[in-house]
Structure 1
């Protein structure tokens, strides 16, 4: 009986290893893409048309075409929610949007992406970018309930913001850590308190492989740049300064 349990557990482990190369919500897909990172985004206009535009507005087109890096890609919904209005799944909470805040300050709303300073776009887009190309298998395990044992790993993004990135190991047939693997990225707002107030987002797909890097796509669980209030304040200040100069 013990031998049967061991063999069954081994088969589960082998199956998990075969499947952890590339996921889209639990489904496997073709990972390789014959083009650069920007071309990949442009090839998926429904999800990433706005993100591709922001890459160009931020002056990062050359990086997305030539440098080797890892991109945790937000989808266009992140931008729409941030500029417009995000309503909770229950429909009972309306979260503050950029244009809502600008209206409160009697400032002109953002009508097109280029209304936002390119420096701001660059800063917050770079929070999604990390040097070198890392696949899911290259990140250590994280268990959010036992971070002392499985802590993930700290990384700095292109803009020097601090993040914890790790892989959650799910349960299979009552056996802990033998199930699916889920890549997570957590923004750490205060580097002096690296264990506090994480803003964690899980991936919807991993290990997409353009010619010059790796793309992991993110679920719509956070705001672009991981800090909506900071983004809104910077845009409001920029627009206020522009109005004052005029």
Structure 2
């Protein structure tokens, strides 16, 4: 099992390097071939998709620990997939100078005098199941199947409410992004909002989708983005999107068992 707390960000290429690559490629048109659109279809089930992609190594392990492997292999579902980075940030490190890992679960356990997590199996299966279910919906739904949402004009474009796999409630909608101040003419982007309190739908944690409409044989996968700012496009994200389960409930449930 990979140690999830030792994974670090890959360096990002600088803008100057990217510009140089673009300029160079423009000078060599004779070598350019249009590869067309990326194929969204994955030849295998959803479990095989997770296992085949190193962004989901840890998520695949959690699916197994939660006892939901059969669901991801055989049932028809839509999965808003958090990446392994969400688990890394959720668990975190003790007394670390790395800001995104400083307030994780292990620091809370350490401060409370409890045993910290060494492996994923230190978390009880029913806890993994409870919070993994918040990202799963029965049936196959692509971006085109969801209504528009405008977070600044929700009375007109509210998205829609959906039951998760285990009957929690979430709001899902498509944001029509703005371009140069002109509303709704930009790219389409899915947003998933978990509602911790059904009686207060204005209180929610929102995650933007980075990649949508991946299609394994038994459903659809939408990959969630890590939140590093207050907005991703016109989606007003918040940092609860970087916590597994969208809020501190996961922390509380694990603390209670340690």
Instruction: State the TM-score, normalizing by the size of structure 1.
Output: 0.79
Q: Which SS does the other structure have where 2:190 is aligned?
A: strand
Question: Equivalent residue for 1:152?
Answer: 159
Alpha-carbon separation, structure 1, partners of 2:150 and 2:61: 36
CA distance in 1: counterparts of 2:82 and 2:180, whole angstroms: 33
Query: What is the match of residue 197 of structure 1?
Result: 203
In 1, the alpha carbon distance for the partners of 2:178 and 2:146 equals: 19
1:140 matches 2:160: no
RMSD between aligned residues:
2.0
Query: Is there any run of 5+ residues in structure 2 with no aligned partner, and where?
Result: 1-35, 228-240
Matched, 1:226 2:246: yes
Is the Cα contact below 8 Å between 2:88 and 2:101 reproduced in 1?
no
What TM-score comes out, normalization by structure 2 length?
Answer: 0.76
Q: Does the Cα contact within 8 Å between 2:89 and 2:100 map onto a contact in 1?
A: no
Q: Which has the higher contact order (CA 8 A, sep 6+)?
A: 1
Give me the whole-angstrom Cα distance separating, in 2, the residues matched to 1:145 and 1:174.
14
Which segments of 5 or more consecutive residues in structure 1 lack a partner in the other structure?
1-26, 240-246
| Whole-Å separation in 2 of the counterparts to 1:50 and 1:170 | 32
Instruction: Give secondary structure in 1 for the equivalent of 2:220.
Output: strand
Matches within 5 A, 1:170-185: 170-172=177-179, 175-185=182-192
How many residues end up aligned between the 2 structures?
A: 207
1:83 paired residue among 91, 95, 99: 91
The answer on whether the counterparts of 2:89 and 2:101 sit within 8 Å (CA) in structure 1 is no
Does the alignment pair 1:72 with 2:80? yes
Q: Secondary structure at the match of 2:78?
A: strand
**Alpha-carbon distance change, 175 to 97 in structure 1, aligned in 2, over 3 angstroms:** closer
Distance of 1:98 and 1:175 partners within structure 2:
42
CA distance in 1, matches of 2:37, 2:254: 39
Q: 1:98 to 1:166 in 2, by over 3 A?
A: same
Q: How many angstroms apart in 2 are the aligned matches of 1:135 and 1:50? A: 24
- 1:231/1:28 CA distance change after superposition, 3 Å: farther
SS at match of 2:250: helix
1:83–1:170: structure 2 CA closer, same or farther, 3 Å change rule? Answer: same
Contact 2:92 2:101 in 1 (8 A): no
Range that drifts further, 183-192 or 209-218: 183-192
In structure 2, how many angstroms separate the alpha carbons of the residues matched to 1:199 and 1:173?
27
Mapped partners of 1:237, 1:173: distance in 2: 49
